[in-house]
Amino acid sequence: MQSFEYVVKDELGLHARPAGLLVKFVSSCSSEINLTAHDKTASAKKLFGIMGLCVKMNDKITFTVIGPDEKADCAKIKEFCEKNI
C-alpha cells in the first residue's frame, strides 16, 4: 500500500471538471485507488464518490493506492494532481 497527501490548489476545489479528469486518469491504473477527505473515503474511479467528498481549495486529500503497480501508479497520480488540481 502506498499513500500520499495533496493540498488542493484549484480555486474551485475538486469540482466536476478536474474530478472528471481524475476519474478518467485513474481508471487506466490497475491499482485500487481511494481518495479521503473530511474523514470520508471514496473510490477515485467513481465521479459521484469524489464529488460527494466536497473538496474545496486548500483542503488536504489523501490518496491510497493498493495493487501490483502501486508505486508507479502513485507517482503518476502525484504528477497528475500537480498539473490539474
Write out the DSSP string of 34-74: EEEETTEEEETT-HHHHHTT---TT-EEEEEEESTTHHHHH
pLDDT tens digits, 40-74: 999 999 999 999 999 999 999 999 999 999 999 99
Are the C-beta atoms of residues 9 and 80 closer than 8 Å to each other? no
Q: How many domains does the chain have?
A: 1
pLDDT tens digits, 72-85: 999 999 999 999 99
Active-site amino acid positions: 15
Task: At 74, list the grid cell.
Answer: 502513485
Strand partners, 65: 2, 33
Host domain of residue 71: 2-84
Are the C-beta atoms of residues 45 and 23 closer than 8 Å to each other? yes
What CATH number does the domain containing 34 carry? 3.30.1340.10
Collect all residues with Cβ–Cβ distance below 8 Å to 52 and sequence separation of at least 6. 40, 42
Which pLDDT value is given to residue 11?
Answer: 92
pLDDT tens digits, 10-31: 999 999 999 999 999 999 999 9
